[in-house]
Chain A
Amino acid sequence: MFTQFSNSGESVGFRENKAVGVSIEHLSKSFNKLNVLKDFSLKVAPGEIFVLMGPSGSGKSVLLRHIIGLEMPDSGVVLINGKDALSEDIREHVRMALVFQAGALFNSLTVFDNLALYLREHRLGTEKQIKDKVMQALTLLSLEDAAKKYPSELSGGMKKRVAISRALVMEPQLLLYDEPTSELDPVSSAMIDEIIATLRDQYRVTTIVVSHDRDLAMSIADRVGILMNGNLIHIGTPESLKNPTDKRVSDFLYPKVDLNNPRFKKIIP
């Protein structure tokens, strides 16, 4: 299915991109005295797939929002190709897409219009070309039947897939996924993994994936980082996760389910 997408004509599919590199330097961010990110630094090479893991509320989504320019850092900077992510130049000339955790679909538009909005607003092709392109992106994620539906009529998993296809239509150079496979069944999850990997292989899309999905990290990641308490406690290849030396990492990745000594009893005596 994906091959079909990538091999199609010029108007459809990804243009050959100059891959972008992301460099996060000494980023700090706090909300009302809650320090979410503390002097966070990370470099993601052009065309790399970086998987970011970490417990809920550790600030993964906040980090993605900084990279795409939705959030202003308290201190530090996010550089894309060496330029500030918030600058006009980057906004205008680097195509970046974020697959939001909750989808962030336009509720007043149909699925089709959700995908077509970007193309129409930036006048990327005639209405016919836009339609072909959108339908192809929808077909890719088995959403062709949902084209005329509104987001409120979709299931959680379908919303997630629509959000991904909406990002794909933008043909981004930098693609950020915020928990793309949560709420998806195993087959759909595997499909998403394949899409992420293929996009990178064929079009050198720099990819940052936030996920709790160990399989995803193991199968497609070039590098994996674990965010905890506002900073990376581990960074390395997927192999390095198999036998972590750090106790925090092993506790996070391979928690033992101990029914005789449940965790909540420790919290609520």
Chain B
Amino acid sequence: MNSIRSVLEGVGSTLILFMRSISHVGTLSRQKSRFIEQCYVIGYTTLPIVGILSFFVGSVLALQSGYSMQDFGTQQFIGALVGLSMVRELGPMMVAILLAGRVGSAITAELASMKVNQEVDALVTMNIPPAKILVLPRLAAVLMMMPVLTVISNLVGWFGGALVCKYTGFISVEPQQYFQALRHVVKFKDVIDGICKAEIFGFIVVLVCSSIGLSTRGGPREIGAAVTKAVVSSLVLILVLDYFVTKLLLAILS
């Protein structure tokens, strides 16, 4: 009963935070430096890990599908498989998961410690809404950076798959053939779909992590608990939403 109540409270406070942040959207042009700073944290500093993991996700995807396809002799279609999976599913998903782990946790930790140190209260007494200067720039930054991270993840994943296809004995598909199959199947629309997905995931991760951070009460112990809660909620939300967003995008497609 209590847990249901706390979930509902979480949903409610997240929605309220969303509305509050949106209501200050006009002030964004005056918050350039905060926006740039958040872009830097969310985008630039997340790039290396996104690159590395995407490379290996693409590689392992090629390896596994090559292994299962070798009996059918359909290895030349790995490019199509890796290309489409990366663009529609794994790219956005990977970026969102990394965002939750790397950026979401940091957001929650920072906002929770601000809350615990009464910095948030101080902002309120100064009549500066926390949603305006703490949440809005982050939301804007994540919307700005997700497409970039996603497209990098896609391309790196593709190349990872291509490399594995070329240098794995039982696959032995030349990059030219790999990319031909890829180009044949992957449409630019798929890339856009993937980016839409990434935008939704990224926005939700940042919003939920902010909300959990700002509703922290107590001391340093609660900061740790809040971070755990934020990351777990983000991951669950990403995976559950993924299904519905995919369905929605496919419905729009047809």
Q: Does A associate with B in a complex?
A: yes
When the two chains form their complex, are residues A105 and B125 in contact, meaning their CB atoms are under 8 A apart?
no
Question: What is the distance, in angstroms, from A221's C-beta to the closest C-beta of chain B?
Answer: 23
**B interface SS class:** helix
**B127 engages A104 (CB within 8 Å):** no
User: Could you say which of B30, B117, B128 contacts A104, with CB atoms under 8 Å apart?
Assistant: B117
Q: CA separation between A92 and B126, bound complex, in Å?
A: 10
Enumerate B117-132 residues with CB–CB distance to A below 8 Å: 117-119, 121-122, 124-128
**Which A116-155 residues have C-beta < 8 A from chain B?**
117-118, 121-123
Contact A70 B124 (CB under 8 A): yes
Q: Are A92 and B117 in contact (CB under 8 A)?
A: no
Which of the residues A92, A96, A100 comes within 8 Å of B121, measured between beta carbons?
A100
Cβ-defined contact, A105 with B127, below 8 A: no
Q: Is the CB of B133 within 8 A of A121?
A: yes
The answer to whether A102 and B126 have CB atoms under 8 Å apart is no
Inter-subunit contact A104/B126 (CB<8 Å): no
Is the Cβ of B117 less than 8 Å from the Cβ of A102?
yes
- A170 interface contact, C-beta 8 A: yes
Contact A70 B121 (CB under 8 A): yes
Q: Which residues of B contact A123 (CB under 8 A)?
A: 30
Q: 1/0 contact trace for A78-93 toward B, CB 8 Å?
A: 0000000000000110
Tell me which residues across on chain A come within 8 A of B30, comparing CB atoms: 123
Contact in complex: B118, A100 (CB < 8 Å): yes
Residues of chain A contacted by B127 (CB below 8 angstroms): 91-92, 122
Is A107 in contact with B128, judged by CB distance below 8 angstroms? no
Number of interface residues of A (CB under 8 A): 22
A252 and B124 CA atoms in complex are apart in Å by 34
A96, B125: Cβ atoms closer than 8 Å: yes
Contact present for B128 and A106 (CB under 8 Å)? no
Q: How far is the CA of A46 from the CA of B154 in the complex (A)?
A: 65
Chain B, 81-121, CB within 8 A of any chain A CB: 110, 113-114, 117-119, 121
A96 to B133: give the CA distance in the assembly, Å. Answer: 20
Tell me if B125 and A106 are in contact (CB < 8 A): no
The answer for the CA separation of A92 and B128 in the assembled complex, in Å, is 10
List the A side residues contacting B125 at CB < 8 Å. 68-70, 96-98
Bound form: Cα–Cα A70–B130 in Å: 13
Alpha-carbon distance between A122 and B123 when the two chains are bound, in angstroms? 12
A97 proximity list for chain B (CB < 8 A): 125-126
Chain A positions within 8 Å of B, measured between CB atoms, are 65, 68-70, 91-92, 96-98, 100, 102, 104-108, 117-118, 121-123, 170
A-B contact pairs, 29 of them (CB 8 A): A65-B121, A69-B124, A70-B125, A91-B127, A97-B125, A98-B121, A98-B122, A100-B121, A100-B122, A102-B117, A102-B118, A104-B117, A104-B119, A104-B121, A104-B122, A105-B122, A106-B114, A106-B119, A106-B122, A107-B113, A107-B114, A107-B117, A117-B126, A117-B128, A118-B128, A121-B126, A122-B127, A123-B30, A170-B126
Please give the residue numbers on chain B whose beta carbons come within 8 Å of chain A beta carbons, in ascending order. 30, 110, 113-114, 117-119, 121-122, 124-128, 133
